[in-house]
Amino acid sequence: MNKDQVAGRVDEAKGKLKEVTGKVVGNEKLEGEGVADQAAGKVQKTYGDVKEKTKDAIKSGADKL
């Protein structure tokens, strides 16, 4: 697991917390920020996943040589 995967998951969790808090207190701006944070976290997590898979594929290819 790389730092982008971890940071993305953390951002998704923080975003979900903001979204739920915004819903509970009736703050649409906070709710919207939470949704945006979740989306950004998901993008970063996916980027980290791609980096990890690429690294594994390169390592696997090098091991076959």
Q: Report residue 42 as tokens.
A: 């998901």
Instruction: Evaluate whether 3 touches 47 at the Cβ level (below 8 Å).
Output: no
Q: How far apart are CA 18 and CA 12, in angstroms?
A: 10
pLDDT tens digits in sequence order for the chain, 65 residues long? 999 999 999 999 999 999 999 999 999 999 999 999 999 999 999 999 999 999 999 988 877 76
Whole-prediction pTM: 0.84
Those residues whose C-beta lies under 8 Å from the C-beta of residue 2, and which sit 6 or more positions away, are 48, 51, 52
Q: 27 — phi, psi (to 5°)? A: -105, 100
